[in-house]
């Protein structure tokens, strides 16, 4: 019999959400919080962000078991000025906190043209792209930024010592058709991808790292030497000063605005978060906004490519197409995800969901 953890099956998204929620509940999360975390993790896999979806579930279960992810209570309100809110996240589950903040922002947008929520000391918030569609579906514009004050992987441009995290910036832009969705780190790659490739004994596709002597490298192991190497800022060795500048901007908009960051030298895996929701109707008008974004989207799509090359693809279009396909045909999980969860299935006595199809 084939080992179900190494075979390439497809699973219904709803079944994966129910199953991962059951695991999180067995580890100590209340049902509503577990369901929200599970929905965000599965949404990431639907969009093809497999390093930041259910791949994180085993790590989240470890954090729950160790007590490093808080299971009960609410975020502490540090400041609330109507359109500007700051929370102490108390290391509550990051996906649950961000969804709660989005719901608050979308409610208050009825009173304010822009609503901003800053969160300090959240737990890890998973894939930023997984949150965007729930806002753009309401005709609203969203910005979402995150950093981890306890993490060090990217060196400042010209330096050798890792100092800050990849610091992703995500945005969801409504159009008359599908939204433009972007989720981009301010570094050349992510820590999760490096970890995955190292585990598989593979190299990066390009020299996106520096070893601890300042030499460019495509070897994931160079990030874990003593002293460690670093991930290059977005733009790598030639234009990395731009990625460095953007990385600092994310630090200011997340940790600095929320009031807690690297100067505190935290040791706990977490996140500083900035979330901003904007209502186009409060500015130049929703109809005018959508006319502009749709014109730009279509102008990009119809821009002639080099002969023999594929057409221009807008940010998020491939992810949204994959999402639609996987909602219909089932999610094909990355091969390492289920094996990483096997010990938890046994410990928590939770069974795998039934696959929809099996690829031979």
**Which CATH number fits the domain that encloses residue 176?**
3.30.1370.60
Residue 312 lies in a domain: yes
Q: What is the CA radius of gyration of the chain?
A: 21
In sequence order, the 6+-apart residues with CB closer than 8 A to the CB of 293 are: 173, 174, 175, 176, 180
- CATH code of the domain in which 58 resides: 1.10.1530.10
Q: Is residue 325 part of a domain?
A: no
Q: Are residues 173 and 206 in the same domain?
A: no
Total structural domains within the chain: 3
Dist. CA 170–CA 319, nearest whole Å: 14
**Whether 101 and 157 share a structural domain:** yes
Q: List the Cα angle 196/199/200 in 5-degree steps.
A: 90
Give yes or no: residues 150 and 204 share one domain. Answer: no
Clarify whether residues 159 and 263 are in a common domain.
Answer: yes
**Among the three residues 231, 249, 264, which one is the final residue of a domain in this structure?**
231
Residue numbers of the domain that contains 207: 189-231
50 lies in the same domain as 148? no
Identify whether residues 260 and 305 lie together within a single domain.
yes
Per-residue pLDDT of the chain (360 residues; tens, 9 = 90+): 233 433 478 999 999 999 999 999 999 999 999 999 999 999 999 999 999 999 999 999 999 999 999 999 999 999 999 999 999 999 999 999 999 999 999 999 999 999 999 999 999 999 999 999 999 999 999 999 999 999 999 999 999 999 999 999 999 999 999 999 999 999 999 999 999 999 899 999 999 999 999 999 999 999 999 999 999 999 999 999 999 999 999 999 999 999 999 999 999 999 999 999 999 999 999 999 999 999 999 999 999 999 999 999 999 999 999 999 999 999 999 999 999 999 999 999 999 999 997 544
Q: DSSP readout, 234-251? A: TTHHHHHHHHHHHHHHHH
Answer whether residue 324 is part of any domain: no
Of 173, 207, 231, the position where a domain reaches its end is: 231
Let me know: does 168 contact 184? Beta carbons within 8 Å.
yes
Q: Tell me: do 194 and 269 sit in the same domain.
A: no
User: Residue 36, CB half-sphere, CA atoms under 13 Å: how many?
Assistant: 19
């Amino acid at each position: 019999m084939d080992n179900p953890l190494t075979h390439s099956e497809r699973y219904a998204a709803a079944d994966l959400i129910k199953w991962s929620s059951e695991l999180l509940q067995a580890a100590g999360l209340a049902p509503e919080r577990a369901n929200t975390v599970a929905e965000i993790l599965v949404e990431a896999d639907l969009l093809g962000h497999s390093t930041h979806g259910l791949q994180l579930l085993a790590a989240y279960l470890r954090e729950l078991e160790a007590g490093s992810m808080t299971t009960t209570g609410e975020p502490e309100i540090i400041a609330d000025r109507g359109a500007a809110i700051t929370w102490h996240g108390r290391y509550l589950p990051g996906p649950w906190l961000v969804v709660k903040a989005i719901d608050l922002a979308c409610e208050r947008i009825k009173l304010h043209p822009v609503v901003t929520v800053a969160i300090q000391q959240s737990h890890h918030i998973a894939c930023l792209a997984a949150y965007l569609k729930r806002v753009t579906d309401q005709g609203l514009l969203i910005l979402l930024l995150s950093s981890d004050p306890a993490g060090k992987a990217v060196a400042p441009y010209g330096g050798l010592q890792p100092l800050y995290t990849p610091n992703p910036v995500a945005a969801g832009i409504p159009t008359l058709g599908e939204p433009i969705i972007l989720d981009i780190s301010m570094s050349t790659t992510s820590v999760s991808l490096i970890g995955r490739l190292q585990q598989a004994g593979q190299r990066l596709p390009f020299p996106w790292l520096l070893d601890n002597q300042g030499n460019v490298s495509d070897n994931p192991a160079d990030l874990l030497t003593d002293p460690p190497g670093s991930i290059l800022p977005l733009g790598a060795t030639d234009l990395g000063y731009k990625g460095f500048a953007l990385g600092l901007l994310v630090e200011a908009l997340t940790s600095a605005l929320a009031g807690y960051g690297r100067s505190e030298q935290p040791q706990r895996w977490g996140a500083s978060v900035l979330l901003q929701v904007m209502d186009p109707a409060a500015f130049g008008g929703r109809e005018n906004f959508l006319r502009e974004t749709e014109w730009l989207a279509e102008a990009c799509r119809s821009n002639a490519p080099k002969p023999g090359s594929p057409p221009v693809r807008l940010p998020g279009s491939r992810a949204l197409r994959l999402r639609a396909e996987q909602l219909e045909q089932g999610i094909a999980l990355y091969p390492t995800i289920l094996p990483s969860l096997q010990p938890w299935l046994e410990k928590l006595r939770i069974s795998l969901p039934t696959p929809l199809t099996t690829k031979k």
